[in-house]
Amino acid sequence: MDKETLIRLATPASITLLALSIFSIPFMGKADVTSANIGESFFYPLYVKLVD
């Protein structure tokens, strides 16, 4: 394959991957990254007490 054919094939693939990454950003924003009973959760917040 020559260079022009490779560019012609790679362009639609790169546009598709760019579109998938743009549409996946809202789903990543809503993802729950905390594990069960580790860190803070909605029902049991983590309180920090500062002592001098």
**Domain residue ranges of the chain, discontinuous segments joined by +:** 1-31
pLDDT of the residue at 36 = 55
User: How far are the Cα atoms of 19, 20, 26, 35 from residue 15, in angstroms, in the given order?
Assistant: 6, 9, 19, 34
Positions in the chain whose pLDDT score sits under 70: 29-46
- Torsion 31-37-43-46 (CA) sign: negative
Taking the complete model, does pTM exceed 0.75, yes or no? no
